[in-house]
Amino acid sequence: MGRVWDGLISDRDKEVYEKAGFGRTSGFGKRPGIVIIDVQYRTVGTVRAPILQAMEEFKTACGEAGWDAVDAIQKLLAVARAKAVPVFYPYVSHKESYDAGRTGTKIPSLMTVSDRGYDFVEEVAPHAGDTLIPKKHPSAFFGTPMVSYLIDQDVDTLLICGCTTSGCVRATAMDAFAYNFHVAVVEECVYDRGLVSHAVNLFDIQSKYADVVSLERAIAYLSGLADPGKGA
């Protein structure tokens, strides 16, 4: 099966990474958690539309790429919830604008979106019992109690979804890797406004920090878990 970065990464670079020993599979653990990052209307738009049209509503919208990922996340969540897998929602919070810091300086459009833009996309919105993690920086771990929540629910594996691939997804995957979690980025469930940036960052994430897995593989992993209440 082809990878999203094929045609962008040269054969020479692929050979160099392979000979250096990068890109090996780290695999799944026994207790997964789903991490859905910044899937808010400000990152997709309130209607399914091409990116330039979506950006007329929200400058930070990714348009159709975001909505395609929403469809995939729905499928992943359906299986995860049936297996009682914990779900975590790191999201940009703009309410406390006094601590926007350099995020507000570098990307002021993140802090000037209407309240509707910060609502979770309905199709993949949190359910009762899910964990919401407001953040002000790319990583879901930086300045948040993310690790504490994961430990409390005995999570050893993160299946990362959301956006953007080159920003918050990558930063979260790197920090999860640094904390020695098993990390999988679900390819169809992440998105970015830049197609090349999306593909190249997935290549880099796969090479160094996480397994970039297909939606099919992620669903197969979750489906193989014990049903709730039946034990291992």
Q: How far apart are CA 119 and CA 89, in angstroms?
A: 12
32: left (phi over 0), alpha (psi -120 to 50) or beta: beta
pLDDT bucket at 102, cuts 50 / 70 / 90: low
pTM of the full predicted structure?
0.91
Average pLDDT over residues 181-197: 97
Average pLDDT over residues 15-41: 96
Q: Is 35 within 8 Å of 162 (Cβ atoms)?
A: yes
Helix or strand run (H / E) with residue 189: strand 182-191
Using one digit for the tens of pLDDT, what is the confidence trace for 127-158?
999 999 999 899 999 999 999 999 999 999 99
Local structure of 70: helix, strand or coil: helix
Mean pLDDT of the chain: 92
In three-state form (DSSP H/G/I as H, E/B as E, the rest C), the secondary structure along 19-54 is HHCCCCCCCCCCCEEEEEECCEHHHHCCCCCCHHHH
Amino acid identity for residue 70 in this structure: V
Average pLDDT over residues 205-216: 98
Sign of CA dihedral 218, 219, 225, 227: positive
CATH number of the domain at 28-223, please? Answer: 3.40.50.850
Percent of the chain scoring above 90 in pLDDT: 85
pLDDT bucket at 231, cuts 50 / 70 / 90: low
pLDDT bucket at 40, cuts 50 / 70 / 90: very high
Catalytically active residues, by annotation: 168
Higher pLDDT: 206 or 105? It is 206
| The predicted structure's pLDDT at residue 228 | 86
> Cα(first)–Cα(last) distance of the chain, in Å?
32
Task: Of 13, 31, 30, give the one whose Cα is nearest residue 22.
Answer: 13
Using one digit for the tens of pLDDT, what is the confidence trace for 50-98?
999 999 999 999 999 999 999 999 999 999 999 999 999 999 876 555 5
| The predicted structure's pLDDT at residue 115 | 81
Using one digit for the tens of pLDDT, what is the confidence trace for 113-126?
668 899 999 999 99
Residue indicated by tokens 């999306």: 198
Q: Is 76 within 8 Å of 189 (Cβ atoms)?
A: yes
Helix or strand run (H / E) with residue 91: strand 87-92
Domain regions of the chain by residue span: 28-223
pLDDT bucket at 108, cuts 50 / 70 / 90: low
Amino acid identity for residue 204 in this structure: D
Higher pLDDT: 105 or 17? It is 17
Task: Of 54, 44, 1, give the one whose Cα is nearest residue 164.
Answer: 44
